[in-house]
Structure 1
Amino acid sequence: MSWRRCGGWIAAVALAGLVESGAAVGTVAFQLQGVVRVEEYAPDGTVLRRDPKEIAKVVKALDPTVIPPLYPKAVPFLVCISNDWWYIRVQYGSNQWYEYGCDGRDTFAITYFPHVRGADIAGVSAGVTPQHMEMEAGVLWFALCSGKYFAREDRRDLAAPWGLPTMDPFAHVYELKGSFTNEEYRLPAFVWFEVVERRLQQAAQHPQLWPPKVLKEDVARLAQLKPGTTGAVYRAWDWRRVGEVQVPSRFELEIMYHRWRGDERQPPLGDNGVFLRYTGHITNVAAAVGHVGPPPVLGKLVVTDWRLQDREVGLEYVSYPITNRVWLTTNDPTVWTRFERRRFELMSLRETGIRGRTTPAGMRGVAVIAAIIAANLGIGAWLWVGRTRSRV
């Protein structure tokens, strides 16, 4: 057990009396405001910084393997919880923000760029866990919105909340271990993500991955991972009670370097070292909840919908506009018609052999671009994919 894990475990034991003494929870409802700070580190432990102009060049080139480091940033957020429903808003300056929400069945996302004319970008996914979320939002879901999920699901099967589970096999190599609050709303207190043999062997064929997602480079990297390796450590402290629920005032997620052969960014000998650190601080807590659930639609949206899929023909999602400010269900004629039309097109292409000329690498490129544009993925998520896919 590493010193990080040891230290966190001592802290978890110290607060166990507070966290685990919670009574059974009936209705869960609270609202939190705060700031999450993000830092990236070099292998020698120094904080890396970047010029935003460098990012613009990388995005234009569409080459995630050369993404410059994240600069330190502090991101304000709002989180609202009501039982299975949740809502997250993260603010990136005055002219860009992301909103995410869940109605207990599906997860919705909107990226707002008020300074850009035209429709905003949105996405819908089946399920209550992060699939197409910016990394900050994924960490916030894990720290504050995951209580109902962990109360009823097998926590060992959760994909890494900072990863991209539909396109990144490395998001599926870990098993979550550690302590949780002993309530019906079971938030993580001190946990770590550990590579385990069972998950490692199944990662390349995980059902959440959209084929063909696993490249030779991925297979080579997966082979280098060793069971027992710690991929990330999470700890929460300064717990406070909101109604019958314990919530942390502060939390931290440290994502570790992995040692890849031929990687110039190798950490020094000893501990793997921290790659990314997310530190959250709650500044305001309220039992009264404002908006919760799917984000309100303020105008025209272009939606990418992953709820209707057909793996046999390679249909991963359908796209459609929303003009009446109402989210569409999968039973809506607009959604179903788009799905059937696109399915027919792909079946026709497959029969003519056109689809066969698309290489896995080409499909990955299309998937990456589509995910970034349509699923509201910011530079953090792209950086994670780029780092895990730099050449062996």
Structure 2
Amino acid sequence: MGVVRQRRGASALALLCAMAILTAPGLATGMAHASPAAPAAPAPEPGAKSLEEVHKEIEDLYHQAGAATDAYNQAEAETKAQSEKIVELANLIVAGQAKIDTLKSRAGAAARAQYRSGGLPPGAQLALSGSPSQFLDGAGRLRQGEKATSSMLSELDGTQNDLKRYAADASARWAVLEENRVKQETAKKEIEGKIKAAEELESKLKAEEKARLIQLEQEAQYKAQTAWLSTGALKDINGTATDAGKRAVQFATGQIGKPYVWGAEGPGSYDCSGLTSQAWLAAGKRIPRTSQEQLRLLPKVPLKDMRPGDLIIYFDDASHVAMYIGDGAMVHAPRPGRNVTIAGAGSMPIKAVVRPDA
């Protein structure tokens, strides 16, 4: 069984590499018109960075942008939650004020009734009554009236206290809302700055250098995936997807070819956690929006128990997430400038595996 799994893993790896090479932007066209012996890359100018150094710098910038994107998405989710809670509190305040108005109206009606009776309280009127039966009947009604008045005043006091609490809660949530908006703006500026810096670096490269850059990305992924497979990790992974997991995988793979856009959650583009959260939403399960919250709130499972539909969290800062689809492969939205694609599950440092439908 282990040999079969290893062979399947090797086959999947070969397929992934072939797909990556054939679908890389600008690379397939270049290969179709390449001469039998491609010219060697020109020697870098003295003091200029090597392509490998540029590649690392670009990858670092996009990684930092990914971490900032997660912070942006988290702040956005919290802002939405606070806004919804403030609306809920506003509705409670309106309802509470209407209740107070009703209670005050009832109290006013009681006061007007007393005025019409000559201003004498019910107890005094009973004392002046010459009929014992009328006195006893009135005493019963007096006790009921006193109880109702006491209850009304207690209800009025409780409602007023509720309004004070709702108002204080709403005020606190407004402060949090504003704090999250500041976080969003800060993260947005950082994301845009990192992406712009990376794009500027890449824009300075010549066509053959851009093709070589893609090749360096693929080589790094291949090396990491090969190292992961060499640990024997895949031979123990044989979990079967649930029905919901199958639907999530079907949705995620159906987005292949759509561009990565930070903060996007479909339908035309996605960031990494936008893809995974929407895939599971399509499967009938609402999960946290960001990779860090997915790591924090979803049940963790051992790598050996991983099954299609599970989410793989990458890097120490949990800044990237992908969906495992089986045979050592995953589907993900890689980074700006790249499209949703299939890659090796071990092509990046794995931090944890979480299960939305545990």
State if a TM-score over 0.5 links the two structures.
Answer: no
Q: When you count helix as a share of all residues, which structure comes out higher? A: 2
In which range does the TM-score fall when normalised by the shorter chain?
under 0.3
TM-score, normalising length: structure 1: 0.22
Q: When you count strand as a share of all residues, which structure comes out higher? A: 1
Q: Give the structure with higher Rg (CA).
A: 2
